[in-house]
């Protein structure tokens, strides 16, 4: 929907006549004396997807095909405006659209503010509207509510931003756009809020992030928090104005534990006591900073992000959840690149989690989904051409004994591969889910990297902190073997392949905010800089209001 300043000026007027409708007089002709006639006159021409249609006020609305189909099936009768002219049903749908804020979406995108002004004008005792004008505005309200709710439902299923619109490769199947049945369900008496609830991602991760957004919005409504001086520093036992400011900052946190710890020493607010230190360490841990309880540069930077920026980041990541399929499966593996974490989820509960190492700058781990089909024990490692050309061949040129010393051999086809063993780059476990980038999960001999807060060190594949635990889980859940049998195969030292009888979906995703099962909201580093383009796209969306972008879906 595109609503320019004309409709805003029009709807705030105390009395409106047909002659003052900026083109509405011509649109609301003598023939269009009822809302149904008006809707037919407008939508009867909406044969093509995304047709731009005139409103009585002189502005336009681009109607989704699903909305036009809904009205065609109603024979262009109004859906929310009964013959007695009462607006009760319209108010219910309008209220549901207003709750888009709970999903991190702007209700203005769905014409909520314009519909509110129309409702106010139509229910005013001194509106001064004659019959043709009233019919026109009732029809417009009906269409605006239908189109707004349809777009809201579409954004819940597909996301408000399309990842490919900002040049992001997204190789995870997305859901299909909802059809006119969304509107039909509401028309037949279904609760619009419940209809939206059923369309949301089914994973509890989404609901937890909605709850985290609500907490941040409460902090925002309470005034947010003040930044600390850039040169601030504290040590345990210090007593200073900086400690007071730090205590106040953490007391206003959206995290209940953090806030409680910070407030516990309020009677001696200037003293940097153990509870305040623990509050700061908790803050550091959930912002991917080494939790040393000190006010270093990284900690100050994270503390000084305004609450508005935190809200924007959570909203962006809520949209990322909407890019995923609504149902991820009963058992699946989720790798969050930005969080350097892996979780195995079964029946909506994380049954295993561990740290991971992902691709470094220039060797970015891609976002995609596939299905795990094999577990390989004692794997050979065949270096990909890029690593072979950039690292191994130059090393061989400098040192003729490089291959033998690092347990490499030439296979029968002439390729270079590394034999199974302790020094093998893949360790003892390799988890395969065929994909065009040849990305997989694997063990590593370089286990010291998992203790670092930032873990982007690989050439794109994903190294596991506790591969043996994942292997035992996969064998138990998805194969005909037992962990004991797996250990026996591992003990042979020879490469062994185990096929999964129950393939496991694997989602390699990128979330810079994450909410744990206990409700703790974590912020991760934007290691690949993906947020910047998406934030610009979000700003553009908000500036446009009810954008027409969705018509291209």
> 3-state class of 31 per DSSP?
coil
Q: Give the pLDDT mean for 182-209.
A: 97
| pLDDT per residue as tens digits for the range 304-322 | 999 999 999 999 999 999 9
Q: What is the spatial distance between Cα 346 and Cα 529, in angstroms, rounded to a whole number? A: 31
CA distances for 550 relative to 63, 76, 171, 524, 546, angstroms:
10, 23, 20, 29, 10
Q: What angle do CA 163, 168, 170 make, to 5 degrees?
A: 70
| pLDDT per residue as tens digits for the range 341-394 | 999 999 999 999 999 999 998 899 999 999 999 999 999 999 888 888 888 999
Q: What is the spatial distance between Cα 95 and Cα 110, in angstroms, rounded to a whole number? A: 12
Q: What is the spatial distance between Cα 234 and Cα 243, in angstroms, rounded to a whole number? A: 7
The token pair that represents 17 in the structure block? 């006549």
Alpha helices, DSSP H, located in 74-130 = 88-98, 112-122
Q: Give the pLDDT mean for 3-20.
A: 37
Phi-psi region of 223 (alpha: psi -120 to 50; beta: other; left: phi over 0): left
Q: Please give the pLDDT value at position 307.
A: 97
Q: What is the spatial distance between Cα 203 and Cα 257, in angstroms, rounded to a whole number? A: 25
Bridge partners of 368, per DSSP, are: 171, 508
311 contacts 216 by C-beta, under 8 angstroms: yes
Q: Give the pLDDT mean for 546-550.
A: 37
Work out the number of other CB atoms within 10 angstroms of the CB of residue 537. 19
- Please say if the pLDDT value at position 33 is more than 90: no
- Please say if the pLDDT value at position 330 is more than 60: yes
Q: b/e map of 448-482 (b: 16 or more CB within 10 Å)?
A: ebbeebebbbbbbbbbbbbbbebbbbbbeebbebe
Q: How confident is the model at residue 422 (pLDDT cuts 50, 70, 90)?
A: confident
246 contacts 295 by C-beta, under 8 angstroms: yes
CA distances for 479 relative to 376, 501, 502, angstroms:
13, 5, 7
Q: Please give the pLDDT value at position 539.
A: 61
Q: What is the spatial distance between Cα 395 and Cα 60, in angstroms, rounded to a whole number? A: 66
DSSP string, 200-247: S--SHHHHHHHHHHHHHHHHHHTT--PPPPTT----TT-BSHHHHHHH
């Amino acid at each position: 929907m595109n609503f320019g300043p004309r409709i805003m000026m029009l709807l705030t007027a105390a009395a409106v006549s047909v002659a003052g409708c900026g083109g509405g007089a011509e649109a609301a002709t003598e023939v269009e004396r009822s809302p149904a006639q008006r809707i037919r006159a407008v939508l009867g021409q909406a044969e093509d997807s995304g047709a731009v249609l005139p409103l009585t006020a002189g502005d336009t609305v681009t109607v989704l095909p699903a909305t036009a189909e809904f009205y065609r099936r109603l024979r262009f009768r109004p859906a929310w405006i009964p013959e007695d002219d009462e607006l009760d049903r319209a108010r219910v749908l309008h209220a549901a659209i207003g709750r888009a804020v709970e999903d991190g979406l702007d209700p203005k995108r769905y014409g909520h503010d314009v519909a509110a002004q129309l409702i106010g004008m139509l229910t005013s005792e001194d509106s001064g509207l004659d019959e043709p004008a009233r019919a026109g505005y009732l029809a417009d309200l009906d269409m605006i509510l239908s189109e707004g709710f349809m777009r809201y439902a579409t954004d819940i299923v597909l996301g408000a931003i399309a990842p490919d619109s900002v040049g992001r490769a997204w190789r995870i199947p997305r859901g299909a756009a909802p059809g006119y049945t969304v509107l039909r369900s509401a028309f037949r008496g279904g609760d619009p809020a419940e209809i939206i609830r059923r369309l949301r991602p089914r994973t509890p991760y989404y609901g937890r992030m909605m709850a985290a957004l609500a907490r941040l919005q409460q902090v925002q409504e309470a005034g947010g928090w003040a930044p600390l001086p850039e040169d601030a520093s504290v040590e345990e036992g210090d007593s200073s104005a900086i400690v007071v400011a730090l205590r106040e900052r953490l007391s206003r946190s959206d995290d209940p534990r953090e806030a409680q710890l910070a407030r516990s020493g309020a009677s001696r607010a200037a003293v940097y006591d153990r509870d305040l230190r623990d509050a700061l360490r908790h803050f550091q841990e959930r912002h991917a900073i080494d939790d040393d309880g000190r006010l270093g540069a990284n900690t100050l930077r994270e503390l000084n992000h305004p609450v508005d920026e935190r809200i924007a980041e959570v909203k962006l990541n809520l949209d990322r959840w909407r890019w995923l399929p609504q149902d991820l499966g009963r058992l699946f593996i989720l790798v969050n690149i930005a969080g350097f974490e892996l979780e195995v989820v079964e029946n909506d509960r994380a049954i295993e989690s561990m740290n991971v190492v992902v691709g470094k700058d220039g060797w970015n781990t891609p976002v995609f989904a596939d299905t795990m089909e094999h577990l390989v024990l004692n794997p050979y490692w065949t270096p990909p051409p890029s690593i072979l050309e950039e690292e191994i061949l130059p090393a061989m040129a400098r040192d003729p004994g490089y291959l033998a010393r690092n347990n490499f051999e030439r296979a029968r086809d002439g390729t270079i591969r590394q034999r199974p063993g302790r020094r093998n780059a893949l360790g003892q476990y390799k988890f395969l889910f065929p994909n065009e980038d040849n990305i997989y999960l694997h063990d590593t001999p370089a286990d010291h990297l998992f203790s670092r807060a930032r873990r982007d060190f690989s050439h794109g594949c994903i190294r596991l902190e506790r591969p043996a635990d994942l292997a035992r889980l996969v064998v138990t859940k998805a194969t005909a073997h037992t962990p004991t049998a797996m250990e026996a195969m591992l003990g042979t030292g020879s490469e062994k392949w185990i096929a999964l009888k129950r393939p496991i979906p694997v989602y390699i995703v990128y979330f810079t905010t994450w909410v744990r099962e206990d409700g703790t909201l974590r912020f991760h580093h934007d290691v690949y800089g993906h947020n910047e383009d998406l934030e610009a796209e979000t700003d553009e969306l908000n500036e446009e209001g009810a954008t027409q972008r969705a018509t291209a879906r």
